Amino acid sequence: MTDQQEQQASVPPKGVRRPAPSPKWIATDLYTLSHLDPSTAHNSDILKSTLSNASNQDLPAIYSSRAFAKFLALQARATDAKHCLEVGTLGAYASIWLATENPNLKITTLEYNSHHVQVAKENISNADLGDRITVHEGPAMETLPTILSDIDAGKLPKFDMAYVDADKTNNWNYFDAAVKGCRKGAVVIVDNVVQGGLIASQDKPLDKPGHVEGAREVIENTGKDGRVSATVIQTVGEGSHDGFLFAVVL
């Protein structure tokens, strides 16, 4: 060890907060979305009312960003997905994005908070999507085994896509279950795995306990998992510096 390395090793890790989004990132989102997702888009009104109903009923504003939710929906479209799993429904914003961009897509989405389930169901009904989006209420670790059994029994089709966006400490468990329910060639996406770059830092986050550890666990285990090939894409935008893990089932 050099003198400099010894000095660094003896410095305790700093407690840090995630950086706030830069005004330039927000302005860039606004500029690109104004062209690529204008208010005249076919699903714009229903998505706006989904968010306002969620906000009026005090749901936290932790849904996927507009640009990222549209990316998910386009990903489903590019792969002609017919059945998608979502872990973490909230008010069904991402589910409604997926369904409104993909008329042949069914979504199985999991949520444990009964108030979130009630608001999600209202939003799904307002969007007239009750026949294609099914919300399963309960902790996802309890609802997933039944869903996987239904897939094994042929009662539900395998997933063509899965989106993991719930309690971050269970990222790996959800990823593992999602892969079990997916067909070969399916895509599994796990949100928020970069955590402002804290995954690659010794510094200790002062908020969101377990999120950095949950992100590292899913990245490290996925790297050793012969069932998939994966990468992480960092993102900036209205949601600050974060990123997602993107895996293809082999």
Ligand X SMILES: C[S@@+](CC[C@H](N)C(=O)[O-])C[C@H]1O[C@@H](n2cnc3c(N)ncnc32)[C@H](O)[C@@H]1O
Return residues touching ligand X (CB under 6 A): 62-64, 86, 88-90, 93-94, 110-113, 116, 139-140, 165-167
For the bound state, the minimum distance from the C-beta of residue 116 to ligand X, rounded and expressed in Å, comes to 4
Q: Which residue is nearest to ligand X (CB)?
A: 88
Q: Among residues 138 and 157, whose Cβ is nearest to ligand X?
A: 138
HSE-CB for 104 with a 13 A CA cutoff: 8
Closest CB to ligand X among residues 15, 130: 130
CB-count burial class (<10 Å; 0-12, 13-18, 19+) for 81: buried
Residue 155, classified by CB atoms within 10 Å of its CB into exposed (0-12), middle (13-18) or buried (19+), is exposed
Shortest separation between residue 78's beta carbon and ligand X, angstroms: 19
Q: How far is the CB of 155 from ligand X (least distance, A)?
A: 21
The residue among 150 and 167 lying less far from ligand X, judged by its C-beta, is 167
CB of 231 to ligand X, least distance (A): 21
Minimum distance, C-beta of residue 8 to ligand X, in the bound complex (Å)? 35
Kindly tell me which of 190 and 249 has the beta carbon lying closer to ligand X: 190
* Alpha-carbon gap, residue 171 to 166, rounded angstroms: 8
Residue 64 or residue 75: which is nearer to ligand X going by CB? 64
